[in-house]
Amino acid sequence: MEKIVKLSEIFCVSIDALVKGEQSASEQASAEQSVSEPPTPVIIERIVEKEKHEPRIIAGIILLCIGFVGSILLLFAAGTWGFFYMLPLFLVGGGCFVFKKNTGLYCAWTLFGVCDLFMTFATAINWRYVFQTFSWTADRNYGILLLSWVVFILMLALLLATVLRFAKQPIENIRKIMVFVLGSGVGFFVLRIVRKLVFRYFYARMEAGQVIIYHSQIVNAVAAVTNWLSFICVAVVLAQGIRLIYNKVKERRQ
């Protein structure tokens, strides 16, 4: 009898159900609920286990590991610059953990942005040279102009992919999107004004014969930062603006 009682306690059933094989309605309902709805810790464990095996998580772990090992190896060869050489891997790897949606777009923009900054400061390649195509001369090297066009086309492709990705998404709060678009448009003009003011200040100091330490580095840094922030504002205006237009047209057709 003691064994039967222990068995009923282990399987959480009554003695009648254990001996006769009959369950009351309440016991049957609780049993079905326990089967259909696993306990909360089990659900959380399954979600965590699933996220661990997502491709973006695996890619993020691999990139961060490569960046960490590469930074240590380059630390002996290039000093503290080794970390900056591995910075794209850290940024993209970290983004794989942070951005659950549109991870590919984030990685692409991050790599393009870092490469563009590197080319701006370390090489003569700059996608902004495409606006000087008709005034370009042979002494400035047409190869640089060609590579600048390649970078410019890649940037346009990324911008187009971003616009298409967000254009057809439904809008839950149209007022919030409109404020976002207007804020980005105002931010674009503010950035251009700030850039002109900074350039005028430095050029006025130069014409007055005053020496400014790291003049060219400061000017290039201001130009690169303001250009990229301006481009982000343009991308937001295009993506969200087309999204607004698309949803308005869709509402009218319905």
Per-residue pLDDT of 105-132, as tens digits, reads: 888 888 888 888 888 777 778 888 899 8
Per DSSP, 113 falls in state H
| Domains of the chain, residue spans | 168-254
The CA dihedral of 158, 160, 162, 164, to the nearest 10 degrees, is -150
Decide if 115 contacts 158 (C-beta within 8 A): no
Query: Does an H or E element contain 124, and which?
Result: none
Q: What share of the chain is helix, strand, coil (3-state, %, to 5)?
A: 85, 0, 15
Which amino acid is located at 48 in the chain? Answer: V
Which amino acid is located at 222 in the chain? Answer: V
Q: Would you say the pTM of this structure is higher than 0.75?
A: no
Q: Could you give the CA distance from residue 96 to residue 10 in angstroms, rounded to a whole number?
A: 45
Provide the pLDDT for residue 214.
63
Provide the pLDDT for residue 48.
47
Longest dimension (CA), the chain: 105
Provide the pLDDT for residue 88.
84
Alpha helices in 37-173 (DSSP H): 40-52, 55-78, 81-85, 87-98, 103-122, 142-167
Residue 87 backbone phi and psi in degrees, to 5 = -55, -40
Local structure of 54: helix, strand or coil = coil
Is residue 126 exposed (0-12), middle (13-18) or buried (19+ Cβ within 10 Å)? buried
Q: Could you give the CA distance from residue 164 to residue 232 in angstroms, rounded to a whole number?
A: 16
Local structure of 102: helix, strand or coil = coil
- With a cut of 70, which residues of the chain have pLDDT below it? 1-53, 78-82, 210-215
pLDDT tens for each residue of 34-51: 444 444 554 445 544 555
